[in-house]
Amino acid sequence: MSGALIDLARRMLAGDRRALARLITLVDDGDPGVADVMREIHPHTGKAHVIGLTGPPGAGKSTLVWALASAYRRRGRQVGIVAIDPTSPFSGGAVLGDRVRMPQDAPSGVFFRSMASRGQLGGTSRSVRGVVHLLDSFGKDVVLIETVGAGQSDVAVRSLAHTTVVVSVPGLGDDIQMLKAGILEIADVYVVNKADREGADRTAAQLASMIEVGRESALAVGQQPDEGWIPPIVRTVALKGENVDQLADALDAHRAYLLQSGRWEHIVRSQAEAELEEALLVRLEQVLAASSVASQKEHLISDIAARKLDAYQAADALLAMLRARA
Amino acid sequence: MSGALIDLARRMLAGDRRALARLITLVDDGDPGVADVMREIHPHTGKAHVIGLTGPPGAGKSTLVWALASAYRRRGRQVGIVAIDPTSPFSGGAVLGDRVRMPQDAPSGVFFRSMASRGQLGGTSRSVRGVVHLLDSFGKDVVLIETVGAGQSDVAVRSLAHTTVVVSVPGLGDDIQMLKAGILEIADVYVVNKADREGADRTAAQLASMIEVGRESALAVGQQPDEGWIPPIVRTVALKGENVDQLADALDAHRAYLLQSGRWEHIVRSQAEAELEEALLVRLEQVLAASSVASQKEHLISDIAARKLDAYQAADALLAMLRARA
């Protein structure tokens, strides 16, 4: 099993696209062999510029992501796209399939994959991170991660990406609504998409003042906002490809800034920490899934449900059991 | 320390509202003494009907939650409200404060608290669950959890609540946009709020057909949709209090259905399982924070960042270290 996976990883590293697709599925399924694959590819990772794009539904993110991929392809860059979809609780699969997401005029040489977001235990971050590593080691220069909505998966993307892009559109609502989206502060680059619509000026002005307020509140709570990088606001019309090159320029400039300022290294270290914690969780889950432990766990769950034990007492009992077995 | 916390928990159980507020803050801060508090209150939990309300920004959820709280108060029920806000990455605090959220004509005897959502390791579920336990043991008959947006925190709410309400409004967009919100399938009760606006009929019709499609796809993948409960669609105008009593009736009916069908017990057990896993994570974090382990962890993080070790190798090294110390 493991030997076959390592072989698959080597074929992927040698440029086999179908091996890549199969490995992504394994990562997405949380296959226990993923650890072996990651060991094999880890030395080949760390080169790609990982860019997260987020924003409310209807902002045209999918179209923008593909337009951006085309712009990068014209610059000779290898591009991978990961689109994170909300999970359907019924089917367990992504709500939107790949077919809905891929445009008919998709640029060639772009690897696209949509993934379902997970409910529990940081599952989304973990599997998306694994897929990013695969695309990175496969030789993609740029990996674009698109998330939908304004939830935790968007915050999680920041922990996966070097550069975060927040996409707005004119007329989505007043300031409080934008604040409620809760994702505006996290961007390195802002986009007002559908900028040929009425209200684009107002949206851009709101963004500019919100960036200013954000920097001031950071100072007020004693934090140092990033002085070397003022997030630019780029107006695009993704459907017509307008200003998408300007967006690619802004993203390249942010990458150059990260490398020069030493922030790139800082991000790599934070990601390594998050990844270590994720790997610890995987190991914990694997131990808990072992049959002898699983039956004890079922008893403890019954005791919690019956209000005989609280969850911490049960957790301590389970840990004592694991220690006795070690 | 621990003695003081247990004393605080006992005062809360005796009806001290300020003790409740202080305990909620401790849970929200992830205080290590929370385990002792939970042990103390656990036998007094399990009575409240926990209702999660979710939906896109602008649907009027906050107004609806308060109107619903008033309706329950008129029925003599004790009510607690937990509003989950997106976290501001700058301040670490909730983006919207309590003042923005509390209406001037708030009904008396309702305990309200807004909490910030957390980025990592299921932190939101864990702290919200703790607060729900506090409100439950304090004697609240109904706990309303309001979430913003369409992200993972909304899916997480389903794991905390007995009954999930999805709130829509007329004119938010076409079908694909509703699907993108990705939260429509999870509801036990649907609300079309602002139902005096144009398009309410169309929105209700879309919801009805989506419920139908959802049941069919569940059948198609071999799952048994819940035959005993057809999710009702309630049209409200929360700002005027219109049909809010009808919503409270639907929620009471769902609670009665859960109890009669045995599904209530099933939910209690799922929640116990989630809670056990969360408690295990807390213990894991506590072990990792111990100083001797923390310095080893830093070395391992550097090795991952330098591509000398992958995350799983580092995790296994850390676990071997912990085992040697046990």
Q: Do B18 and B67 lie in a common domain?
A: no
Residues A152 and A137 in one domain: yes
* Residue B1 pLDDT greater than 70, yes or no: no
**Cβ-based neighbours of A258, under 8 Å, separated by 6 or more:** A162, A163, A264, A267
CB contacts, 8 Å: A288 with chain B = 280
At B203 the pLDDT is 85
User: Sorting pLDDT into bands at 50, 70 and 90, what band is B159?
Assistant: confident
Supply the pLDDT for residue B306. 93
Mean pLDDT score of chain B: 83
Percent of chain B scoring above 90 in pLDDT? 49
| Domain region containing B12 | 1-43
CATH number of the domain encompassing residue A149: 3.40.50.300
The answer, yes or no, to whether residue B236 has pLDDT greater than 90, is yes
What own/partner pairs with CB < 8 Å and gap ≥ 24 does A71-74 have? Answer: A71/A241, A71/A244, A71/A245, A71/A247, A71/A248, A72/A141, A72/A142, A72/A248, A73/A107, A73/A108, A73/A109, A73/A110
Please state, in angstroms and rounded to a whole number, the distance separating the CA atoms of residues B88 and B143: 25
Chain B: closest CA distance from residue A226 (Å): 11
Contact B315 A279 (CB under 8 A): yes
Do B317 and B324 contact (CB within 8 A), yes or no? no
* Three-class secondary structure of residue A73 per DSSP: helix
**Count of beta carbons in the 10 Å neighbourhood of residue B169:** 20
**Residue A61 in domain:** yes
What's residue A154's pLDDT? 56
Inter-chain contact A307–B42, Cβ cutoff 8 Å?
Answer: yes
pLDDT in the model for residue B27 = 92
Q: How many CB atoms lie within 10 A of CB B32?
A: 15
Q: Give the one of A39, A95, A313 whose C-beta lies nearest to B310's C-beta.
A: A39
By Cβ distance, the residue of B45, B150, B269 closest to A307 is: B45
Helix (H) or strand (E) holding A50: strand A49-54
**How distant, in Å, are the alpha carbons of A43, B165, B203 from that of B207?**
49, 13, 6
Pair A176, A296 in one domain? no
Q: Is A126 exposed, middle or buried (0-12, 13-18, 19+ CB in 10 A)?
A: buried
Let me know if residue B282 belongs to a domain: no
Tell me the pLDDT tens digit for each residue of B23-63: 999 998 888 888 899 999 999 999 999 999 987 777 888 89
Contact A164, A188 (CB under 8 A): yes
B13 confidence band (pLDDT: 50, 70, 90): very high
Task: Tell me, rounded to whole angstroms, the distance of Cα A203 from its chain centroid.
Answer: 26
Decide if B269 and A305 are in contact by the 8 Å CB cutoff: yes
Q: Clarify whether residues B33 and B9 are in a common domain.
A: yes
Name the 3-class secondary structure at A127.
helix
Interface check A86 vs B, CB under 8 A: yes
Q: Are A138 and A41 in contact (CB under 8 A)?
A: no
A278 located within any domain: no
| More confident: B202 or A144 | A144
Are the beta carbons of B319 and A279 separated by less than 8 Å?
Answer: no
Contact B312 A281 (CB under 8 A): no
Residues A205 and A93 placed together within one structural domain of the fold:
yes
Asked if residue A181 lies in contact with residue A58, where contact means CB atoms within 8 angstroms, the answer is no
Query: What would the two tokens of residue B169 be?
Result: 């409004």
* C-beta separation of A272 from A160 below 8 A: no
What single-letter DSSP state applies at residue A139? T
- Regarding whether B154 and B255 lie in a shared domain, the answer is yes
Closest chain A residue to B117, measured at CA: A152
Q: How far apart are CA B35 and CA A313, in angstroms?
A: 8
- Which among B158, B217, B277 has CB closest to A90? B217
Quote the tokens at residue B68: 């619903």
pLDDT at B326: 58
Compute the distance between CA of residue B251 and CA of residue A7 in angstroms, rounded to an integer: 55
The least confident of A306-320, B209-223, B241-255, B262-276 is B209-223
Least CA distance to B275: which residue of chain A? A311
pLDDT at A290: 80
- Identify whether B268 is part of a domain: no
**A213 and A316 share one domain:** no
Taking CB atoms and an 8 Å limit, are B288 and A281 in contact across chains?
Answer: no
Which position has the higher pLDDT, B91 or A199? A199
Please tell me the distance from the alpha carbon of residue B184 to that of residue B293, in angstroms, as a whole number.
44
Give the residue on B whose Cα is nearest the Cα of A33: B312
B 287-316: CB under 8 A from A: 288, 297, 300-302, 304-305, 307, 309-316
Report yes or no on B5 lying in a domain: yes
Does pLDDT of B224 surpass 50?
Answer: yes
Pick A323 or B168 by higher pLDDT. B168
Q: Which residue from B95, B223, B315 is facing A182, i.e. has the nearest CB?
A: B95
Question: Which pLDDT value is given to residue B238?
Answer: 95
Tell me, yes or no, whether A32 and A147 share the same domain. Answer: no
A124 vs B contacts (CB less than 8 Å): 152
Q: Which two tokens stand for residue B297?
A: 């962890």
Q: Hey, are the CB atoms on A182 and B46 less than 8 Å from each other? A: no
The residue out of A244, A262, A280 marking a domain boundary is A262
Choose the closest CB to B122 out of A122, A314, A315.
A122
- Interface test mutation site (partner A, options B180, B184, B296, max chain A beta carbons within 10 A): B180
Query: B105 with B199, same domain?
Result: yes
Give the percent of chain B with pLDDT over 70. Answer: 79
Inform me whether the C-beta atom of residue A161 falls under 8 Å from chain B C-beta atoms: no
Helix (H) or strand (E) holding A235: strand A233-235
Q: Are B307 and A46 inside 8 Å of each other by CB?
A: yes
Between A110-114, B167-171, B238-242, the lowest mean confidence (pLDDT) is in: B167-171
Q: Which residues contact A133 (CB under 8 A, 6 or more apart)?
A: A38, A41, A42, A45
Closest among B20, B56, B57, B18 to B37, alpha carbons compared: B20
> Does a structural domain hold residue A280?
no
Nearest CA among B303, B238, B283 for reference residue B65 = B238
Listed residues B206, B241, B261: the one ending a domain: B261
Give the nearest partner residue to B151 out of A153, A218, A318, using CB atoms: A153
- Whole-angstrom distance, CA of residue B200 vs CA of residue B167: 12
Answer yes or no: do A305 and A231 share one domain: no
**Sheet with strand A79-85: strands edge to edge:** A110-116, A79-85, A142-147, A49-54, A163-168, A189-192, A233-235
Q: What is the pLDDT of residue A177?
A: 46
- Examine the domain organization and report whether A8 and A116 are in the same domain: no
Under an 8 A CB cutoff, do A154 and B156 touch?
no
Subunit contact A315:B280, Cβ cutoff 8 A = yes
Rounded mean pLDDT of B253-266? 95
Count CB pairs under 8 A between chains A and B. 267
How many structural domains comprise chain A?
3
Q: Is residue A227 part of a domain?
A: yes
Instruction: Kindly tell me if the per-residue pLDDT of B18 is higher than 60.
Output: yes
Chain B: give the shortest CA distance to residue A104, in Å: 18
- State residue B150's pLDDT score: 46
Q: Does A143 map to a domain?
A: yes
Nearest-angstrom CA–CA distance, B179 and A91:
14
- Residues B35 and B132 reside in one and the same domain: no
Question: Which of these, B33, B28, B31, lies nearest to B94 by C-alpha position?
Answer: B28
Give the CA radius of gyration of chain B.
22
Nearest by Cα to B109 from B135, B87, B128, B148: B135
User: What Rg value do the Cα atoms of chain A yield, rounded?
Assistant: 22
**According to the model, what pLDDT value does residue A98 have?**
45
- Containing H/E element for A52? strand A49-54
pLDDT-derived band of residue B101, with 50, 70 and 90 as boundaries? low
Nearest to B148 among A154, A180, A279 (CB): A180
Distance (Å) of CA A179 to CA A87, B57, B64, B95, B206 = 25, 10, 20, 7, 28
B272 touches chain A (CB under 8 A): yes
The whole-number mean pLDDT for each consecutive block of 10 residues of chain A, a chain of 326 residues, reads: 87 96 92 90 95 83 94 96 68 45 76 73 74 97 82 63 90 50 68 92 84 69 70 95 98 97 93 88 82 88 94 91 74
